[in-house]
Structures are given as C-alpha cells and as structure tokens.
Amino acid sequence: MKQVESAKKGIITEEVRAVAAAEGVDPLSLRKKIADGVCVVPLNKNRKSRLVGIGAGLRTKVNASIGTSSDIVDVGAEVRKAIAAEKAGADTLMELSVGGDLDSIRKEVLSAISLPVGSVPLYQAFKEAIERYHDPNRLTEELLFDVLERQCADGISFMAVHCGINRLTIERLNRQGYRYGGLVSRGGSYMVGWMLKNNRENPLFEKFDRVVEILKKYDCVLSLGNGLRAGAVHDSLDRAQVQELLINCELAEMGRAMGCQMMCEGPGHLPLDDIEANVKLQKRMSNNAPFYVLGPLTTDVAAGYDHISAAIGAAEAARYGADLICYVTPAEHLALPNEQDVVEGVRAARVAAHVGDMVKLGRKDRDLEMAKARRDLKWEEQFRLGLFGERAREVRASRAPQEEDTCTMCGSFCALDNVGGYFKSALENGQKG
C-alpha cells in the first residue's frame, strides 16, 4: 500500500515511524500530515534509500544536483560528485544528465549513494527525440510517458515533471512581452518550443492523470516542475510565473486526491522583497503542499559566488516556509560544477536551511550551546556543535595559536579569556549557563 493511501486509512508505516523518530516528531501527527498532503517521503518500491521527510514541521532539507552536459560526459566524475554531495550532508540528490547514455548514468548514480534521487524526465525525452528523429519537436507522447515509466522503474524517488506549462501560461508569457532574462528551464523551454511548433497542448498537463498513475505506482513523489521560473530578478513574480504557480497548486491538489505524494517547485531568481510573497502564495494556493525552491538567487551579478547569493535567498525562503532547498554552486551560470563546487554548494545551502529553521521551527538550542562553548573556550565542544566541525578543526590547526585555549585571530588579546575570570562567580551560580 502506498504512503498516501496508508496514511488516509490511519496506518502508520515503518517509513513514517523512521522519519518521525529522525525528526523528533509524533508519528501520529506525521501520518496525518502525509494524509493531508503537507508532508512527503520520497520513496520507490524498486530501490531502498535513506528515509527523508519533507514538509510542514520538519527540518528544511537540502538537495544537490549533478549530471553530465552535452560538452562534458564523465560518468566517473558524476558518481564522485554524487558521493561527495551525500558526504557533505545533502538530504536528496537530483541526477540531471543530458549527455551520454542517460539510462546507464542514472543507474550508476543510483547504485553509488543511499540518498533519494530525483530526475527531470523531459531532459531524456527530448534528447531521445533528437537522437531518433533529429528534431526535439517530433517528440511523441508515447516516448514521453515511456521515459517517465523507465526512470521510475530504475528507482527514482521524486520527479520534476513540467505539468503546469500549458496554452494559458504561454499566452501570459506572450502578452507580457516575453522576459528580461528569457526562459532558463531546460525542460520548460523545450516543452514551450514543442507546443508552439506543434500547436498542441502539453501532454503532461492534458493527461495529468496518466502522469500521476505512473508515479503513484512506484510511490514516487511528483514534484510539479517550475518550467517558467524567473531567471532574472526583474522577471520575479511576473504573470507567466504566477500563472504556472497557480496551475501547479491546482494540480497538486488533484494529484493528492488521486493518492500521489505531491510537491510544488518554485523559482529561481527573486529579490529579497519578493521571497515572502512567493512562498506564502504557494502555501496558500496549494493548501500547504511541500515547496521545493531552486535557490532562490537574490541578485544576477554574483557569478562565481552565486552559492552565497542563493544561500541568502534560501534562508529567507526557509524562514517563510519553504521545505526543500535546491543548492546552487559557485559554478552556476559559468560551467559544469566540479566535485569541490558540489561540496561548497551543499555547505552553503545547509547553512541557509539552518538559519531558516532557527525562525521557522524555533530551533536555536544548538546556537545557544555553541555560544556558551565559545564563551568558555571549549574548542572540542565547538567542533562537535558546528555544522562543519572537521573543517573548523582543520582551519584552527593550520594556524595554531601560542596559547592553546585561544586562536590566532586575537592570541593573548582574546576578549573572552581576558574578562571571563571576572564573571566566574556568576557563571558558577548558574545565572547564564
């Protein structure tokens, strides 16, 4: 029995119990949230993966994306990046290859890690249409749905499917005079091109029930792709983007009623003052479906440091209710990420998720313990409490201080060391700590 069906019947599955224990929440409450569609657990009946809960009341999760390009096809490198992402603390992974043997690459990545793995089936569908017919616009419905089935059968746990692009969203895009930043979704742009060339409706929208049935069969989460997401801050919350968001929110409700686990995806590029509105719009219109945000990047001029721009946006998005953050690496807009880019992207997104959860979930205990460990110059405790304790230890060791209980930033001028003794009696009386 699938997770949504079990939850609606009042059954607490082993998966729900495991996620509840990991999150420190009541399994009865989590079961109800899955029944209501406000939490999901990415799964696949054909592959055992790490159990991860995404949604209301749970820790904000971090997704890392990898995949070959048409210019660089190095399967070994992608596998190493997947392993590095898991080791760096990613909660989920998306395998987004567009170059090489996509079925083979996907299987190698799935076998190398324990994370739930997601995909974007339009990439493979259009690639195979080009290989078979030498024209992406000759993609057939049967090939499209065959790719969905094939990827699910391989063990994909969540799938970004661009169902919300339809004639109405394209009409909105045309009426507003296109965009400053153009269309930046690879799958979205190909689907828009296919619809315009063939003068047809998007089969993923037109036959949404077929999409749902395929993913439901494998207990895979259907993540409604953001094909018209803003690729520039000046396109944020334009009519085309909001139209697609509205459609995706309606589809999320429909898919939920059909017994499928559902998420909605969001942009993209958003200035800070648009993030709260975007998250609240999605949550309100979808009846609180889990929200998967891509970044969001808060400026268009930070190439080389876009992981920082995205971390700023992700912290704000998480604060207001986003549930899953897709990382951005330092290579964004410039090149295919390498292994170190992946690690840096995951770490930046983890910081953002933690900062957001401090507000969203009211979880500040770890920061309080770190404050006291720093005040008392307890270095091992600081390394234990830090998000990246081993990295912190390496930095300190690389510039070792003369006085063991200080660091080389201040040395003998350490403020905490110099004044701490004067307040020793207050600390011993337990007033602060």
Count the neighbouring beta carbons within 10 Å of the beta carbon of residue 292: 28
Task: Label the pairing between strands 54-55 and 39-40.
Answer: antiparallel
The angle formed by the CA atoms of residues 56, 62 and 66, to the nearest 5 degrees, is 140
Sole residue written with tokens 């406000």: 38
Token pair for residue 222?
Answer: 């259907």
Tell me if 54 sits within 8 A of 323, measured CB to CB.
yes
Residues 6+ apart with CB under 8 A from 265: 160, 223, 224, 225, 226, 229, 248, 291, 292, 293, 294
What is 40-360's CATH topology?
TIM Barrel (3.20.20)
In angstroms, the CA 123 to CA 139 distance is 12
The predicted pLDDT at position 403 comes to: 82
In angstroms, the CA 204 to CA 202 distance is 5
Q: Return left, alpha or beta for 296; rule: phi > 0 is left, psi -120 to 50 is alpha, else beta.
A: beta
CATH 3.20.20.540 positions along the chain are: 40-360
The predicted pLDDT at position 95 comes to: 98
Q: Which of 230, 231, 170 is nearest to 195 (CA)?
A: 170
In angstroms, the CA 385 to CA 404 distance is 19
Question: Which helix H or strand E contains 94, and what residues bound it?
Answer: strand 92-95
The predicted pLDDT at position 411 comes to: 82
The predicted pLDDT at position 414 comes to: 82
The predicted pLDDT at position 402 comes to: 85
In angstroms, the CA 270 to CA 256 distance is 28
In angstroms, the CA 228 to CA 320 distance is 22
Q: How many CA atoms lie within 13 A of 308 on its CB side?
A: 5
Q: Which tens digit of pLDDT belongs to each residue from 390-404?
A: 999 999 999 988 888
In angstroms, the CA 370 to CA 396 distance is 16
Give the type of residue at 433.
Answer: G
pLDDT in tens, the chain (433 residues): 789 999 999 999 999 999 999 999 999 999 999 999 999 999 999 999 999 999 999 999 999 999 999 999 999 999 999 999 999 999 999 999 999 999 999 999 999 999 999 999 999 999 999 999 999 999 999 999 999 999 999 999 999 999 999 999 999 999 999 999 999 999 999 999 999 999 999 999 999 999 999 999 999 999 999 999 999 999 999 999 999 999 999 999 999 999 999 999 998 999 999 999 999 999 999 999 999 999 999 999 999 999 999 999 999 999 999 999 999 999 999 999 999 999 999 999 999 999 999 999 999 999 999 999 999 999 999 999 999 999 999 999 999 888 888 888 888 888 887 777 667 766 666 666 6
In angstroms, the CA 379 to CA 381 distance is 5
In angstroms, the CA 142 to CA 206 distance is 14
Q: Which tens digit of pLDDT belongs to each residue from 312-327?
A: 999 999 999 999 999 9
Tell me if 264 sits within 8 A of 289, measured CB to CB.
yes
Q: Is the peptide bond before 296 cis (omega within 30 degrees of 0)?
A: yes
The predicted pLDDT at position 390 comes to: 95
